[in-house]
Structure 1
Amino acid sequence: MAINKAMRIALKALSYPDLDVKKNYKLHRQMTNVAHPYIKPKYEMWDHKVSVGDYDIPVRVFFPPESDADNRVLVFFHGGGWVIGNIDSYTTVCSNMANMTGHIVVSVDYRLAPEYKFPTAPEDCYAVTKAIFENADTFGVEKKNITLIGDSAGGNLAAVVSIMARDRGEFMPSRQILLYPSTDSDHSQTSPYESVRENGTDFLLTTKRICDFIDLYKSSDEDLSNPYLAPILSKDLSNQPRTLIITAQYDPLRDEGEAYGKKLYAFGNEAEVYRMKDALHGFISLPKHFVHVKRSYELINQFLNNESSN
């Protein structure tokens, strides 16, 4: 359904363009938990921790009703601007994901900014992914069937973990799925992406919020040019996983996500980019019967099964 005039007015009212996220991020976290309460899924679920130094990273493992013998795994990184969100607020999303893909889903509760600034989040996500790869044989999981997936800031983290894996040479994912990802650090009015200006004020996620999130996330201004924060700034994107990127039409992050797919392709990688018509940022958190969610899982399953999306 296209966004009509009445819906646009409602969205503008909900966008709160003047709300200072930097001063109210704790309130945002509370609102997110209220909007997406923890509801125990119908299917099997297991809470675990992955030790990194003196810190244990919580993970939540979701099992589909009928799991394939080779135990295909999706390693999931949640969205929320690196500042809000957690494995509880994404439990319904991950339960649906396990059910609709037939994959085991491992949701990573990485540490959030500003308490833990960059590069804590990507290092946490890298550590959990490394542990999954190192223990794949023990649990009967084929490494080729381990896929990274994330939405928004989580899509950013999936892309970053893939670059880190290439750089460090300890493991290498064969696939990654990036849902409306953040890939750049410039969301000012001089941004090279037209979607920042087209969709930056009236569609829930505003450019002001994005800039506030990045200010809370970065440790210094030098981080803004670091490809582990803004992967599209990487001078070398060779040897990256096969990639599916799904963007949303009315999303300020739309163009940078699509540009990342083009840059991956330019460096010789296999990359598919699909723009979800009439969709807003964050749509994967909608109930699973919504058209954008159903279409996304059609694309995701085709990608995971090496089928054409045409």
Structure 2
Amino acid sequence: MPINKFERAILKAISHPSYDVKKRYRLERSLKKLKAPLLTPLYRSWDQKVFEGKREILTRVFTPKEDIPKHTIVFFHGGGWVTENIDSYNNICKNLSTYTKSKLISVEYRLAPEHPFPQGFEDCYAVAKQVHQIQAEIGNLPGKIILMGDSAGGNLAAAVALKARDKGEFNVEVQILLYPATYFDHSPSSPFDSIRENGTGYILTAKKICDYMTLYKSTDRDLFNPYFAPLMADDFSNQPRTLIISAEFDPLRDEGEEYGKKLIEAGNEVEIYRMQDALHGYMYLGPRYVHVKKTYDLINRFLNESEGHV
């Protein structure tokens, strides 16, 4: 259903232009931690540490309780690289694991601004690399390994796939990017219309995205780094089979879709789907919500088709 006048009034009220992420990110983190859903016995999960040199990276592994997993998903959470964590994403990851019949590995990467780019990205790359190495050496993970993330997590998944290609250390076969951030400019001078059309009044504002980017970057040079902003890559070839799902009323809509177009132009196999009447971050709404159910259907079809690709 389209967003009605009453819903638009509510969205406008909670998307106040004066909200300053740079001043309030610690409070936002604390609130998300308090509201983090508890784990339940309806599925299996456990925490596992990945070691990269002397650094420990926490991951949380989810598996469906009633089904044998068909796929393995390495998942990077959203939150503007600043506010969310694996606890606040328990429900999203649990439901993704359950409804896609997948083993899902959620990554607790380091957050900015305490750990600016590329530190969180390096954590994501290290976990993806080790998971692929385990599969290559032992082969005890179900199906193909899929990189997946939403929002800032979609950015991280795309960046990991680019670096894996550049370094040649492992081969990413499949990636799923949910309303990803792929560009560096979210000011009024952005080349993307969705920044101007959806940059106010829809919870995630263009100002908030600019604030998150400011907290995430180490220097302005990062803005042109493809591992920071994947659309800045010079080469989009040899990338995984890709599903990109954008949201109609999302300021990030056009840059996510543009990334898919760049991949297609470079000869990759890509599906781009725009979720009509959807807002950024809609996966938080749970499996009964029509857009979330549709997303599960799209992912399952895409993964089942991916199993037939060599």
Query: Shorter-chain TM-score: what band?
Result: over 0.9
d(CA) in 2 for partners of 1:169, 1:68: 31
1:53 equivalent in structure 2: 53
User: Is the counterpart of residue 230 in structure 1 residue 225 in structure 2?
Assistant: no
Gaps of 5+ in 1: none
Gaps of 5+ in 2: none
Name segments (4+ residues, structure 1) moved above 4 Å. Answer: none
d(CA) in 2 for partners of 1:238, 1:155: 18
Residue identity matched to 1:279: A
1:38, CA displacement in angstroms? 3.2
User: Is the counterpart of residue 102 in structure 1 residue 101 in structure 2?
Assistant: yes
Helix, strand or coil for the counterpart of 1:306? helix
Residue identity matched to 1:59: T
Provide, for residues 167-193 of structure 1, a one-character-per-residue CA deviation record: whole Å limited to 9, x for no partner. 010101110000000000000101000
1:61, CA displacement in angstroms? 0.2
Does the aligned pair in 2 maintain the 1:101–1:301 contact within 8 Å? yes
2:118 equivalent in structure 1: 119
d(CA) in 2 for partners of 1:283, 1:245: 15
2:191 equivalent in structure 1: 192
Helix, strand or coil for the counterpart of 1:181? coil
Residue identity matched to 1:190: S
d(CA) in 2 for partners of 1:10, 1:130: 43
Residue identity matched to 2:56: D
1:135 equivalent in structure 2: 134
- Correspondence list, 1:66-81, <5 A: 66-68=66-68, 72-81=71-80
1:109, CA displacement in angstroms? 0.4
Residue identity matched to 1:107: S
d(CA) in 1 for partners of 2:38, 2:132: 28
Residue identity matched to 2:119: T
Residue identity matched to 2:187: S
Residue identity matched to 2:218: S
d(CA) in 1 for partners of 2:216, 2:122: 13
Does the aligned pair in 1 maintain the 2:80–2:152 contact within 8 Å? yes
d(CA) in 2 for partners of 1:56, 1:63: 22
Helix, strand or coil for the counterpart of 1:135? helix
User: Is the counterpart of residue 287 in structure 1 residue 286 in structure 2?
Assistant: yes
Cα RMSD of the aligned pairs, angstroms, is: 1.3
Does the aligned pair in 1 maintain the 2:15–2:200 contact within 8 Å? yes
Residue identity matched to 2:241: R
Provide, for residues 124-145 of structure 1, a one-character-per-residue CA deviation record: whole Å limited to 9, x for no partner. 0000011111111425126x61
Residue identity matched to 1:103: S
User: Is the counterpart of residue 39 in structure 1 residue 39 in structure 2?
Assistant: yes
d(CA) in 2 for partners of 1:284, 1:204: 14
TM-score normalized by structure 2? 0.95
d(CA) in 1 for partners of 2:242, 2:139: 25
Provide, for residues 141-175 of structure 1, a one-character-per-residue CA deviation record: whole Å limited to 9, x for no partner. 26x61000000000000000000000010101110
d(CA) in 1 for partners of 2:238, 2:139: 27
d(CA) in 2 for partners of 1:291, 1:268: 33
d(CA) in 2 for partners of 1:149, 1:31: 25
Does the aligned pair in 1 maintain the 2:42–2:65 contact within 8 Å? no
1:19, CA displacement in angstroms? 1.2
1:174 equivalent in structure 2: 173
Provide, for residues 8-46 of structure 1, a one-character-per-residue CA deviation record: whole Å limited to 9, x for no partner. 010011112211111111011122234443333511111
Helix, strand or coil for the counterpart of 2:61? strand
1:15 equivalent in structure 2: 15
Helix, strand or coil for the counterpart of 2:305? coil
Does the aligned pair in 1 maintain the 2:45–2:62 contact within 8 Å? yes
Provide, for residues 232-251 of structure 1, a one-character-per-residue CA deviation record: whole Å limited to 9, x for no partner. 11010100000000000000
Provide, for residues 31-88 of structure 1, a one-character-per-residue CA deviation record: whole Å limited to 9, x for no partner. 223444333351111100001122210000001124447x520000000000011110
d(CA) in 2 for partners of 1:22, 1:83: 10
Does the aligned pair in 2 maintain the 1:147–1:175 contact within 8 Å? yes
1:261, CA displacement in angstroms? 0.5
Does the aligned pair in 2 maintain the 1:67–1:104 contact within 8 Å? no
TM-score normalized by structure 1? 0.95
1:65 equivalent in structure 2: 65
